[in-house]
Structures are given as structure tokens and as C-alpha cells.
Structure 1
Amino acid sequence: MRSLLVSWQFWALLSAVFAALTAIFAKVGVENVDSDLATFIRTVTILLVIGAILTAREQWQGWGAISTRTFTFLILSGLATGASWLCYFRALKIGDAARVAPIDKLSVVLVALFGVLFLGERLSEWNWAGVALIAAGAVLVAYRG
């Protein structure tokens, strides 16, 4: 069990499960409320839960322990997350969850591309085939034919 808890695959799969639940819960939750307000409620909830986890595990660090570069990129990541959530909730408000979520998951394709272009990561031919299949799959699932 301990090896499972330090496995990136385990945590990535758990992330996928929670992301799927996010889409379903959000689709129901956004039905009778403005999508931006729904995003705000979700964000406050996340803030409170993560704050409680940090407190319970005594993981708070002083701001001085965080470099300016790290802080800058975490702020940029937060801004990108916020923009993503606002767009995602707006899409869920007007579209089917089963079609919105796959298009949102095109982020997997973009991460692969950005990782290669900006981070110098390398993908094998098999990896690129997987990226292409993910892109094709997302389009096919979202297609209303």
C-alpha cells in the first residue's frame, strides 16, 4: 500500500476520477446559477479545504522560503487555472458534460505540445501516436453526429 501512495500513476488516476466527478457535479450545480458565481463557490471551497489540509499536516511555510521565480510561476498557474475554470463552467452551463469534458481534455494534447516546445521534453513515436489518438478521441466524443 505504501508503494501505491508514492506512485505518480496512482495519484494521476485518482485525479482523473475526481476530474470526472467534477464535471458531473458541476453540470448539476451550474444549472440554476451564473457560471462565474459557480466558479467562485468552487474556488472558495478549494481554498478552505486546502487550507485545512495544510493546517492539519502542519505544512505551512513562510513566504520568504518561496523564491520569486517559483512564486511568479505559481501565480501564473493560478491565473491560468482560474481562466480555465471560468471557461469550463461557462461551457458546462450551455453544453452537455459528455461533450464539454472531452474537449477540455484536449489540454492533454496541449500539455504534450507545450512540454516539448517550452520545457524541452521528448516524446517517442508511441507517445505522439497516443497524443494523436487523444485528440481524435476528444473530437469524436464531442461530435454531435
Structure 2
Amino acid sequence: MARSGGGDPQHTSAFIAAVASFATWGLVPIYWKLLSRVPALEILAHRFVWTIVFLGLLLSWQERWREVIGNLRRRRSALFCLGSGIMVGLNWLLFIWAVNIGHVLETSLGYFMTPIVNVLLGAFILRERLSAWQTASIVIALVAVSILAFGYGHFPWIALGLCTSFGLYGLLRKQSGTAAIPGLFLETLFLLPLALVYLVLLANRGTLTFGPSHLSLSAILTTSGIVTAVPLIWFGYAARHLRLVTIGFLQYLSPSISFRQIRR
């Protein structure tokens, strides 16, 4: 069970990891805009491939393959990793597609809604207690987000999809009981075959945006594994050691940074 004591070194490191992951995600739209000429599905497929490559190298360096095999053999851990992998895959696809077509504002709205989803999941599913000020804060946030959503002009289905998928990802990730790097490797591994099949189909059609004729885009796509994996490793560590309610409140950092990027 995650500890909540502020003096616990593990709690402190998990807190720092959460802040680092959300700050990184707040800046990531700048990176994905560099790939605006690449179809969203192809970017998603590359994220799976290059994330596996990066994590494989990391696991080999740390000599942690036994953890991966052990988690794979435990039915409960494997199923939770499969579920969280599906959720994060849906989140990635929706996010990249929305950013590439210019819906950055709605993605930020979605990530303003995500902390509320995390807090509610923590309170009602995991039975985590809310203090009086936390309850008041979440009520105010609900009212504010409702006003923003109403003023958006149409039903914010992108925002709703983002907050639901990532909220469920955090819940499943926390309940999987797997360490950050081995768990993320399994999440990505389960969906890797679909990514590879899709990239092969694109290559056969001659529409793959990767190779000698697309050197700059290929270089950026290759780094997508690091951009994807590092904040998720931090988040996975934080989710294991912090309450979901705490993570929810910290998560407001990400959309706040994204909104600042939009205003520039």
C-alpha cells in the first residue's frame, strides 16, 4: 500500500517523480507538433516500437528481465498490464490526433478534467479519504471545468475521452502492483504486434513516413520512445507509492503548462 507520510524518503521521491512526469507532459505538445505531417496512427505505432526498444535497453542495462518474466507469469499482473496498456494506447492515439488537427485547447481541457477523474476514482474505488479542503477544491474544480466545457461550443468528446482513458490507466497501473519499468514494458509489449503489423502495411503501400526520404521526421520518430517512456516511468513509480487522490491534484501542473504554451 502506498504510504502517505510526507517524511518518508520513498514518498518524497514519488512526489518528485509525479511532478516531473506532469511537467514533461505539459511540454510534450511542442514535440508532437514537429510531427504534424505524420498520420496519428503511424505516430502511435512508432511510439510502441521505439518505447519497447528504449525499455529493452534499459532493462538489459539494469539486469531486470526476471521481473518482466515474473510479472508475465502472474495472471493478475499480466491482465492489469494489458488493461492499462489498452487505456494508455487509446489516450496516446486521441491526444496525438487532437494535437495534429489543432485541438490543443481541448486536449488541455481533457487534462484539466483528468485530475478530477483520478480523485473520484481514488475516493470511490480505492476508498481514499479526502480532507475538507480537498473536497472543497474538487467541487470548485468540477464547477470550473463544467463552465469551460459549456463555453467550448460543442460537446467536448476529445476532452472526455482523454480524461477517462488516462484516469482508468492510473487506476489499473496502481492496482497492477508492478514496478515502473517492467510494468511499462509489458503494457507496450502486449500492443506491439498491432503496431508492427500496421507499420508493415504502410511500408508495403509505400506510405510509411520513415526512412531515407524522410530523414528529419525519422530522427524525431526514433526519439519518441524516450519522450514516451521517461514520463510514464516516473508516473508509474508515483502511482505505486502515492495515493491516487494526491496524484490527481498534482496533475493540474500538466494542463497549466500546456495552456501557457497556447497563449504564447
Distance 2:101 2:16 in 1: 33
**TM-score between the two structures when normalised by the length of structure 1:** 0.79
2:24 match:
18
* RCO higher in structure (CA 8 A, sep ≥6): 2
Runs of 4+ in 1 over 3 A off after TM superposition: 3-6, 132-135, 137-141
Report deviation, 1:22: 1.9
Which shifted more, 81-90 or 97-106?
Answer: 97-106
Q: Give the alignment partner of residue 8 of structure 1, picking from 6, 14, 27.
A: 14
1:92 match:
99
Distance 2:55 2:68 in 1: 17
2:137 match:
130
Report deviation, 1:138: 9.1
Deviations 1:96-117 (A, max 9, x none): 4344234234221111111222
Q: Is the 8 A contact 2:32 2:99 kept in 1?
A: yes
1:58 match:
63
Deviations 1:113-143 (A, max 9, x none): 11222212221221223334545269649x6
Distance 1:111 1:117 in 2: 10
Please list every run of 5 or more consecutive structure 2 residues that lacks an aligned counterpart in the other structure: 1-8, 154-264
1:104 match:
111
Counterparts of 1:11-90 in structure 2 under 5 Å?
A: 11-29=17-35, 31-61=36-66, 65-66=70-71, 67-90=74-97
Distance 1:59 1:87 in 2: 32
Report deviation, 1:70: 1.3
Cα RMSD after superposing both structures: 2.9
Report deviation, 1:87: 1.1
Q: Is the 8 A contact 1:26 1:89 kept in 2?
A: yes
Matched residues, percent identical? 25
Q: Is the 8 A contact 1:35 1:90 kept in 2?
A: yes
**TM-score between the two structures when normalised by the length of structure 2:** 0.47
1:116 match:
123
Please list every run of 5 or more consecutive structure 1 residues that lacks an aligned counterpart in the other structure: none
How many residues are aligned here? 142
Distance 1:53 1:138, change over 3 A: farther
